[in-house]
Amino acid sequence: MGPSSSSGFYVSRSVALLLAGLAATLLLALAALAALYGYCARVPPSELGGLGVSDAASSPPDRQEEPTGTPKSGPAGKPSVTTARDDWRPPGPWDHLRLPRWLVPLHYELELWPRLRPDEFSKRLDFSGRVNITVHCRVATARLLLHSLFLDCQRAEVRGPLSAGTEDATVGRVPVDDVWFPLETQYMVLELGEALQPGSRYELQLSFSGMVYQDTREGLFLNVYTDQGERRALLASQMEPTFARNVFPCLDEPALKATFNITIIHHPIYVALSNMPQLGQTEKEDANGNQWTVTTFHTTPRMPTYLVALAVCDCDHVSRTERGKEIRIWARKDAIASGHADFALNITGPIFSFLEDLFNISYPLPKTDIIALPIFDNHAMENWGLLMFDESLLLLQPDDQLTGKKALISYIVSHEIGHQPQKWFGNLVTMNWWNNIWLKEGFASYFEFGIINYFNPKLPRNAVFFYNILHGVLREDHALVSRAVSTKVENFTETSEINKLFDLFTYHKGASIAWMLSGFLNEHLFISALKSYLQTFSYSNAEQDDLWRHFQMAVDDQSKILLPATVKTIMDSWTHRSGFPVITLNVSTGVMRQEPFYLGKVKNQTLLNPNDTWIVPILWIKNGTAQSLVWLDKNSKVFPEMQVSDSDHDWVILNLNMTGYYRVNYDKLGWKKLNQQLEEDHKAIPIIHRLQLIDDAFYLSKNNYVEIETALDLTKYLAKEDEIIVWYAVLVNLVTRDPGSDVNNYNIYPLLKKYLLKRLNSTWNIYSTIILENVAALQDDYLALISLERFFETACSLGLEDCLQLSRELFSKWLNNPEYEIPYPIQSVILCYGIALGSDKEWDFLLDVYTNTTEEEERIQLAYAMSCSKDPWILNRYMEYAITTSLFAFNETNIIEIVAASEVGRYIAKDFLVNNWQAVSERYGTQSLVNLAYLIGRTISTDSQIMELQQFFSNMLGEHQKTTVHAKLRTVKNQNLKTKKQSTRIAEWLRRNT
């Protein structure tokens, strides 16, 4: 998720002093700002509504600030409403990102009234609301802190202390003297006329209003879309991680769980959804005589504010019952009528049942709603009882049956359901603070593969995990990366820093570490520890160490698995450090050592602290047979059993099934033995390890750990390789899409073409025949479906005549008969080469299809295909269309950039910019000009070329952008020089082996 919008307007002390003579003007400006950003209105306490917060079994650790005394009230005892600013606000707990532990929420009564009408959704959309928060006071305080952002607060009152179970209207009131807003930390501060009493309960009552946005998915947001030929709108929410405060004043931290009674007021044409089933409906008339429906919902279990969810929509649904509980999938009426939600509906119930049985914990809610949103930047969200998905990740069209789309939907549905009944750092057991977010998301990512494997036991789980998770994160992680997965978020000073934690490391590195933990224990022990953990902390909060403690208990209760240290010590070595190790084995001596992985290693670059090492589980095989687990808990260690003899059939591979989060290197003899085995009998080495050897060797060579020749030697056997996923790994590493890649080097291209085409021809014949004769045979071959596009694309790019001819034939079939469907696994390749090999006839046909297509995914695919033309005049016309016609006005794909990314288009785009850079900037923003500078300059290798490009862009870029571009181009130049040196060695190797 993206960072929160900035808020606040600050003036330094020095400037404030200089402006002292303009005090009256400044006060007027501040009043205007208060009206703009939304702060509490000045009203007498007698007119205020109320709020409250709740008790919890556990609360976040916090600073030991003492609550401050009672402030003075404003004129006539009215609360004084101010906007906190750095130049005058007193220091206090509002300067910190975390709430003090003075109050603990028990229950929210929340009513929201979004003014969404079926005929007015294109205008500014407002909402109003009321919230009563019952709180338990733990420390005497005359100041209350709540979270609130971009909300106008009309009423504020504090009732209490409350007696148990009382609803008496005569309960006392605590005076509210002042309400003010420290904008930077997103708080609302209530200054009280007297201190609250520790041990007592109070009810905080607030009335507020705010805005609904279309251009962001934070808090309440609007989707405008087309359904049944009409423009429609729906309202949905996204509260994670810190956006509940955009919707209602609350204590917006994950540890502060409470129960919720939610009421939504909406137009009668719409359906209102929330976490719980509907309790009842009544009618309400507004001041203008318009009728509204008031929908109330049952009380939720205790949950954090980030799981509060609601939707107001004009959708249809399909439903089924699983173990007595209703499951409904909501989507556009067209999609429901076409059966696009059926696949998701049919897999959701069995996934719930599998997880219930696995953990022996029943799903605690009486229903599950899942809604497909036309636009949802966050892709999916696990709100308890109301899951939200981008429709592209939930709905399956009939022509998607042969694609990897089914698997993608299965993975994402499994991930989000994994949060529901059992997911420990998630809905049932929630993290105390955001530094443990990797456990919530990382373990959900881990479990999605276990779920899918259960329903598809023939699916090679380790290869699928490598492709979807491990391959990508190992390419982004390194020793100097900015953070570890377990981050000290309590030291953050801005909420946006929390939002940035939802990244590749949280999801994929977290999943990889969970994968490793399961690997060195076993599945039974792993699940047993999780069961114990869940039962202990259900409906509560926990820390990372609580989880490790339950794993340690499971380990201590058996004697088969022995660990070199406690589970906490082992796992802390992975979660509190950035990067990962490279494990190097000398098969002649049996010496194994570890060192951190660096991008572009330099000589003698090692650990800064010899004792600061990872505790590495080493699962391994020797001559195809799995061996006993060993541990590398030092910089280096000797394992005599890993030495190999002179026999041609003696070889060792570390990291069995790639369960460890590290890369593996060998000495020259170790690599030689593996290469010999591949050439003699590659099937003796499992598929997952052929993938591993290729990926590790090429990536280590790219970063100076091994010679490039070591990686290239592993490809000699490829003529016998018929597993297309292994070919995928080869092509991703050898024929990259990087701007300065070797395949774009004209000296290497003919050599690489000859070398690869000779070896891939056999695999090409197999899959091209299947594509032409029986594409349905690939329906359940997930590894083929995810590999075919890259394989066919490379074959065509290397000029394989059979591939080019196939592209002509299939594109021509489609052009002559639009009802014909190009086989989906290679559709993008056929479209691209159909255009590249065709004329303006083919291009105009594709433009016409684009014009009549509303599906965003398809439009993006077509936009990229149209950039594949080799005709300069067609590309020039394409870019002209992009900046002048309404046809491309709502397309987020930057046409100029995708044209510039092609080899021919790079020069065409540069010429086009000479006369059109202002129009390009207006259409796509100034950042597009910066991106184009990178794309056009991607092959530079001299300082004079940098100067030439800088001169070319001098009138287009601002000074800051020029500096940024210059630094980037120098980096590109240095990388290209490095690539050229390696390319020379690759060319020499190819000459010797072609």
Residues annotated catalytic, as ranges: 416
* Pairing between β-strand 581-586 and β-strand 663-666 as defined by DSSP bridges: parallel
Q: What is the CB neighbour count within 10 angstroms for residue 36?
A: 9
Whether 224 and 232 have beta carbons less than 8 Å apart is answered as yes
CA 341/CA 346 separation, integer angstroms: 9
Residues ≥6 apart with Cβ < 8 Å to 197: 137, 140, 161
- Residues flagged as binding site for Zn(2+): 415, 419, 441
Residue-by-residue DSSP string for 216-229: --SEEEEEEEEETT
Q: What 8-state DSSP symbol labels residue 298?
A: P
Residue 625 forms beta bridges with which residues?
622
DSSP 441: H
Round to whole Å and give the CA distance between 106 and 612: 44
Report cis status (omega within 30 of 0) of the bond before 364.
no
Mind giving me the DSSP string for 309-325?
A: -EEEE--EEEEEEETTE
Element (H, E) at 292: strand 291-297
235 contacts: CB under 8 Å, gap ≥ 6: 114, 116, 125, 212, 220, 221, 222, 223, 310, 311, 312, 313
Alpha-carbon distances of 262 from 129, 278, 280, rounded to whole Å: 11, 10, 11
Q: What angle do CA 249, 255, 260 make, to 5 degrees?
A: 50
Longest dimension (CA), the chain: 96
Helices and strands per DSSP (H, E), number in the chain: 30, 32
Report the C-alpha dihedral over residues 787, 788, 789, 790, rounded to 10 degrees.
60
Q: Annotated binding residues, as ranges?
A: 415, 419, 441
Amino acid at site 807:
S
Angle of helix 801-816 versus helix 840-851 axis, rounded to 10: 50
Q: What is the Cα–Cα distance from 254 to 434, expressed in whole angstroms?
A: 8
CA distance 128 to 247: 9
Cis peptide before 241 (omega within 30 of 0): yes
CA–CA distance, 386 with 379 (Å, rounded to integer): 14
Packing angle of the helix pair 510-520, 437-455 (nearest 10 deg): 60
Residue type, 318: V
Which has the closest alpha carbon to 574: 655, 662, 646, 643?
Answer: 662
- Least Cα distance to 182 among 134, 139, 140, 144 occurs for 144
| Cα dihedral 212/217/219/224 (nearest 10) | 40
- Give the helix, strand, coil percentages of the chain, each rounded to 5: 45, 20, 35
Other C-beta atoms lying within 10 Å of the C-beta of residue 805: 13
Helix H or strand E encompassing 17 = helix 13-18
Q: What tokens appear for 696 in the block? A: 């590790």
CB atoms within 10 A of CB 944: 9
- For residues 932 and 917, is the Cβ–Cβ distance under 8 A? no
DSSP state of 385: T
620-622 β-sheet, strand order: 625-626, 620-622, 652-654
Report the distance separating Cα 15 and Cα 20, nearest Å: 9
Nearest residue to 68 via CA among 142, 119, 14, 2: 142
